[in-house]
Amino acid sequence: RLDSNALLCDCDLMWLAELLKSYAEQGSIQTAATCEAPPELHGRSIATLTAQDFNCERPRITSEPQDVDVLLGNTVYFTCRAEGNPKPAIIWLHNNNEIDMKDDSRLNLLQDGTLMIQNTKESDKGVYQCMAKNIAGEVKTQEAVLRYFGTPSKPTFVIQPHNTEVLIGESVTLECGVSGHPHPRISWTLGTGSPLPQDARFAITSSGGLFIQNVTFSDQGQYNCNASNVEGSIQATARIIVQDSPRFVLIPTDQTVTEGQSVDFPCSAEGHPPPVITWTRAAGGPLPTDRRHSILSTGTLRVLRVALHDQGQYECHAISAIGVKTLPVQLSVTPRVIPVFLHPPQDVVAETGQDVAITCSAQGDPRPTITWVKEGIQITESGKFHISQDGTLSIQDLGVADQGRYECIARNPFGFTSSTMQLTITATDVGRSGDTFVATSLREAISSVDHAINSTRTELFSKRPKTPNDLLALFRYPRDPYTIETARAGEIFERTLQLIQEHVQQGLIVDMNVTGYRYNDLVSPHYLTMIANLSGCSAHRRTPNCSDICFHQKYRTHDGSCNNLQHPMWGASLTAFQRLLKPAYQNGFNLPRGFSLAEDARDLPLPLPRLVSTAMVGTETITPDDQFTHMLMQWGQFLDHDMDQTVAAISMSRFSDGAPCSQVCSNDPPCFSVMVPANDPRVRNGRCMFFVRSSPVCGSGMTSLLMNSVYAREQINHLTSYIDASNVYGSTEQESRELRDLSGQQGLLKRGQVVPGSGKHLLPFAVGPPTECMRDENESPVPCFLAGDHRANEQLGLTAMHTLWFREHNRIATQLSALNPHWDGDLLYHEARKIVGAQMQHISYAQWLPKVLGEAGMKMLGEYKGYDPNVNAGILNAFATAAFRFGHTLINPILYRLNETFQPIHQGHIPLHKAFFSPFRITQEGGIDPLLRGLFGVAGKMRVPSELLNMELTEKLFSMAHSVSLDLAAINIQRGRDHGIPPYNDFRVFCNLSSAQEFEDLRNEIKNLEIREKLRSLYGTTKNIDLFPALMVEDLVPGTRVGPTLMCLLTTQFRRLRDGDRFWYENPGVFTPAQLTQIRQTSLARVICDNSDHIQQLQSDVFRVASYPQGMVGCEEIPMVDLRLWQDCCDDCQTRGQFRALSQRFRGKRSPGFSYPEENPAK
């Protein structure tokens, strides 16, 4: 306690007040000290007093030190006097450091504050400053410099410049004080060493500092203070950091969006230091925490799926240490408007041969696009159908085929609305101008078509193929009589109509070309029926007998019929391809787009397919796929040959005069030559490449036997659509019988020669006339191999796959026979066939498709939910003709052939053009193993949008001496037009991508501007782009090997193939659960282990790139399918397993329409 002392509260006691205050704050001591004097403070607690109460006074300087020049060893005095209350203490600084007098006896502080330095030394040089300090504050004098004369000395820094921050537009000084003798000269340079800018804003102060006024950003950087005299020079560096308050560079603008859309408000600012961007609602309210509002790293505010309550003001703030700037912005939200019809379509009744326009208009925001659908198939622009801007559907030349329900769909991003109408066609008995010419035209058509077919057959089968054209023709020519009869009927039907039209035109003065082809208006309906009957159309409509349910519940037919018991012909061989969109023919009936250049003047002509190929498709460069092997391509081709093959033309000669298509370069049916542009980079000696149209199927889609209407041309799929291993077993009963070894009761397929060393068999050789495999007398006279698909010899990799799977069937049948000795040959054959088909399905969907479609595509494909009898598993025309041909972009130009250590075999690798139709290379050059190792041991070709088909395919397809090689890309484009495949844009609409009005609208799917510009220069309008090249140049969806439209088409097809197949391997009841578990053990690696000649080392997933030997495993490590689960466990097995009784009964019940005619093809 201090209150017993009489305290005089003057300035000398202020320390006590400070002490007591600090104690009180810490709570460590309670005091009761009060003042006694002076009278005005009497009784006050000392802890409550302030500096003013104590009557303290800050120090003030009354006498300042001055610069001094001195000789070494002399004494120097620096004076300093100060006043204040309490009396201030004097402290001296030397070069900004406090001087401690105790350290050096030469230094003394005199009573009045003067600093005395005796016996001066070199180290005493520099800047001196006096500081006066008391409890009320402190103050410094000006700086004084101690210099030496007489003795020369190098410059030394008294004050060094420091890094300094300055706001833009303000002034800054970099101090620089130096001593030395003689007195050093100070100069300033930029950090780079170059002189200061010639700018009035820069000046050097009297003390040597650098002064810059009105600072700009360009002033930021390093500056050097250089001091020199005769004794030497020194340099010091400092930075000027120019700071600036935030300034907006990207200013957000008010936006109006429709509810449900997303919106971005870009906002960015600059400044020094760089500002941070934040966003708030108006008046600083926080953004909602609903995950729809986010601030991107660029500063942009993104609002996803905008809701009506998001409307209002938002503020963008740019914040830095220097300050904050704010900008307001307004978001307005308009409610979404789904389309509504203004004029829904009305039912219409019209007569055959007329034209009709059906109105359908809708409004919505954004404005809806209108599409039309007939019975589930989207209508596309063609010579028959036209959809105007306002949605009106026009149909030309009505026939009974056009009758039915039409649906008008108005769609915008918020939804769609649809309305249907019925179009009824009445057939009138009015005679038509062509009726009188029916009989003569039909006779002429039959004779000219048969003449052309016969000359083709003589030409093809009487000699070795001489040119790539012969090779392609022979390779694709249908061999069985039923196919030829079907195709012949279609050709005669179309040819008859064409001849009638020509006859009518000759008798008219008016040129009918103006009105286009009007076949329904040309001939009366009952005459159309007559033409259909006499041409053979009506006779070739199969109605299979599916009554033997014991067989059909368990096994597939070879031709795919009776899979769907309600629609027995769905997916069957020799039926028309399916359509997603109505075909786009130039005349709405059968002419390809771009068939004649005298097209509708409004449209731009289509580019020549060969020109598109050379400009966009052909490539010499190859980018290897870093993930997948060449087997990815090879499985794709093998799988494709299980699903589709278009029936080619049965005549390679013109119907009009029998001249061969390969020689005439014309578009007379069935020729449709690929014209070669004038300045083609390769083809100099020919005007065209050989191309013949695919055979038509007459009256496709027809339900009645009366063919009283004209149907758009459809093409025929030679194979069953289902993934059923038809490439091993054939697609007709007749083919399957030719392939089976019926001599024993083992259920085997016919075998060819034995491979020495492995004891395994090659495929059997085909018998019959000379084939495409014996084209060159100089090479070995080895005929083609015989397999379930006659394209097996097309190239050696494919032949190797066929060999593997034919062996796999025989391996399984032999094992089943050992497990079930009581089974007869038919039962063994069908059970083995069923397992092989399931293995192919499993490999395709569980191991191959996920690599092609990636995670995104497999999600789009969806899980398997069981068999759906309402799904037609037929192959889509666009899939066979364009989409699945994407595999051509994966083909390497070389087939690699590797030995056991994955080194080239001594015969070497083989360029692709030498691997076409060359079975002798398997019999004489090491068998299938080197080829298989070349498929799984080598990286595949990556599809890069600028590297599509290798030149081996575009310039050397089926190459032979002295003739024009074919171009696969040009053929693909021409085939798309031949099949009436609608343009790319229509498929974009089908796949829910935007409709591209301008080439710029393709930028999301085709990012490469150069490719878009190529498309523009070739096609001129987005409406014309062919499907195949567009699918090939789309950017790959990340993690896949396909673009968005291609992904949509592939998933659509593969979903239908799975869900519409009653015998799909995962469909409950097809296999027992235990058998299904075994089927799921299947891998292509295991099939190779079991059926190659000697392969023992490979990767467990042969589609993935792996290196030898570390990426490989031994065959013993790869899981097998345990066939013991197919063993009969029963007492009466001996009688139960006789399949023959079942087979005989099954064969006896078959209808004539279901069996193929055995008679010879028409002469």
CA 691/CA 635 separation, integer angstroms = 27
Residues tagged in the binding site annotation for heme b? 888
Kindly provide the residue ranges of all beta strands, DSSP E only, lying in 718-807, ordered along the sequence: none
Residue-level length of the chain: 1163
Cα–Cα distance, 1111 to 1115 (Å, whole number):
13
What's the gap between Cα 580 and its chain centre?
22
Question: Residue 1092 corresponds to which tokens in the numbers above?
Answer: 């190659």
**Close Cβ partners of 876 (under 8 Å, ≥ 6 residues apart):** 577, 578, 579, 580, 883, 1049, 1052, 1053, 1056
Asked if residues 613 and 970 have their Cβ atoms less than 8 Å apart, the reply is yes
Structure tokens given for 152:
């020369």
Asked if 556 and 563 count as a contact pair (C-beta separation under 8 A), the reply is: yes
Contact assessment for residue 130 and residue 80, using Cβ atoms and an 8 Å cutoff: yes
Scanning 820-848, the segments in alpha helix (DSSP H) are 825-842
Q: What sign results for the dihedral spanned by CA atoms 1009, 1015, 1016, 1022?
A: negative
641 as an active site residue: the answer is: yes
Q: 720: buried, middle or exposed (CB in 10 Å: 19+, 13-18, 0-12)?
A: buried
DSSP bridge pairs for 246: none
Element (H, E) at 239: strand 232-250
Decide: residue 334, CB within 10 A, 0-12 exposed, 13-18 middle, 19+ buried. Answer: middle
Q: Which amino acid is at 103?
A: D
Give me the residue label for tokens 């509708």. Answer: 600
Q: Please, are residues 393 and 387 in contact by the beta-carbon 8 Å criterion?
A: yes
| Catalytic residue (choose from 272, 317, 503, 641) | 641
Q: Are 655 and 633 in contact (CB under 8 A)?
A: no
Asked if residues 210 and 225 have their Cβ atoms less than 8 Å apart, the reply is yes
**To 10 degrees, what angle do helices 631-643 and 849-861 make?**
60
What's at 694, amino acid-wise?
Answer: S
Nearest to 583, CA basis, from 421, 457, 714, 429: 714
Q: Scan for tokens 């659908």, then name that residue.
A: 373
1086, two tokens: 């295991």
Residues 6+ positions from 318 with CB-CB distance below 8 Å: 246, 247, 248, 267, 269, 271, 275, 276, 277, 324, 325, 326
Please check whether residue 51 is in contact with residue 13, taking contact to mean a CB–CB distance below 8 angstroms. Answer: no
d(CA 334, CA 256) in angstroms, rounded, equals 7
Question: How many angstroms separate the Cα of 100 from the Cα of each of 91, 109, 496?
Answer: 9, 10, 123
Instruction: Write out the two tokens for 1106.
Output: 């792996």
Residue 699, amino acid: G
Nearest CA among 878, 864, 837, 868 for reference residue 1053: 878
The helix/strand/coil state of 526 is helix
CA distance 666 to 673: 6
Q: What is the DSSP string of 196-225?
A: PPS-TTEEE-TTS-EEE-S--GGG-EEEEE
Q: Which two tokens stand for residue 831?
A: 């059970």
Distance, first Cα to last Cα, the chain: 139
- Indicate which residues carry an active-site annotation: 641
